[in-house]
Structure 1
Amino acid sequence: MTADSHVRRGHPITLALVILIAIIELCISAWLTARYNQHHNFLSTSERDRVRFLLFCSVWTILLSPLFLTSFLTSPGSILSSVAAHGIFLFMTWVFWLSGAAALSESLGGRLNCSHHFVYCGQLNALEAFAWIEWVILTFAFVVVVLMGSRAMRRGDGYRGPLVAV
């Protein structure tokens, strides 16, 4: 089995997992944002803003990931399914999730101890955990795209070339 066939099968699975985790993050962060807006019971404004940033990350990921997935499946030779497009999208998304997960972790002190009776403690723990899970999956996907980019360069396709040989 070739590396291209692994990517052909793995790409949709990986992006589907990215979308699924982003939907979970969207639900949690939207719920927390709604509660914060309604009750103003956040621990600090930095916590509130970081939850809102993770909401943005979720929306970004949910809107753009299906676009890249569809492009990869329907027209693998298009510019949207190129190594460069995937690399840019994944790098930007990776930076967003790293920033959001690290910022929320810092705001919560690295680990939220629910025995101190924080408001929405379980939801904040889940939000932080799923943000880091999303970042790990995106790290894996970005590394694979970098490796596929090096294969495309050796094939002579360059960065504008398709992610897999067409």
Structure 2
Amino acid sequence: MTAETHIRRGHPITLGLIILFAIIELSLSAWLTSQFNKFHNETSIDERDRVRFTLFASIWTIVFSALLLVLFMHSPNGSMLTSVLVHLVFLSLTWVIWTAAAAAITDVLGGGLNCKLQHAFVYCNHLNAVEAFAWLEWILVTFAIIVVIWRGITARRGDGYRGHLV
């Protein structure tokens, strides 16, 4: 199998996983945000704001990953909108956003919570899940960036994702 075949199969799978886990993160962070807004029972303003930032990161990821996936599926022979450069710019911005979100939520939780021992955080298990899925998103986006960089290096000039159609 050629690299183009792997790209054509792997691209939808990778972006699909990124979107799937972003939807899970969206659900968790949106629910926490609604609880904080309704009951004002967050431990600190930092906790509330960092959960909101993960909500933003999730929405960003879902919207732009879905857009990139639709563009890639619509033009399988490649176009300017599905080029390695567009992927690299989008994934780099997304990587920075997820790095900030995962690090911020990890910082406010002190690296993770033992829900059996602490009683300060009202939504302990939910916050642990937000942290875990934020790091999972970061790992997936990091993997995608590595593949895009590899593809950019190994592609012939102007080849992009198209490659040779056999």
Q: TM-score normalized by structure 2?
A: 0.93
* Distance (whole Å) between structure 1 residues aligned to residue 66 and residue 8 of structure 2: 15
Partners of 1:22 and 1:58 within 8 A in 2 = yes
Q: 1:131 aligns with which of 134, 137, 144?
A: 134
Query: Any unmatched runs of 5+ in structure 1?
Result: none
Number of residue pairs aligned between Structure 1 and Structure 2: 161
Shift of 1:151: 1.8
Query: Any unmatched runs of 5+ in structure 2?
Result: none
Shift of 1:136: 0.3
Shift of 1:164: 3.6
Helix, strand or coil: the match of 2:111? coil
* Distance (whole Å) between structure 2 residues aligned to residue 43 and residue 49 of structure 1: 11
The code of the aligned residue for 1:53 comes to: F
Segments of 4+ moved more than 2 angstroms: 161-164
Q: Where does residue 9 of structure 1 map in the other structure?
A: 9
* Range with greater deviation from structure 2 (111-120 or 88-97): 111-120
1:85 lines up with 2:83 in the alignment: no
* Distance (whole Å) between structure 1 residues aligned to residue 64 and residue 98 of structure 2: 14
TM-align CA RMSD: 1.1
Q: Where does residue 56 of structure 1 map in the other structure?
A: 56
Query: After superposition, what is the alpha-carbon deviation per residue over 1:21-75, rounded to whole angstroms, capped at 9, x for unaligned?
Result: 0000000000000000111111111111000000000000111111111111111
* Distance (whole Å) between structure 1 residues aligned to residue 161 and residue 35 of structure 2: 42
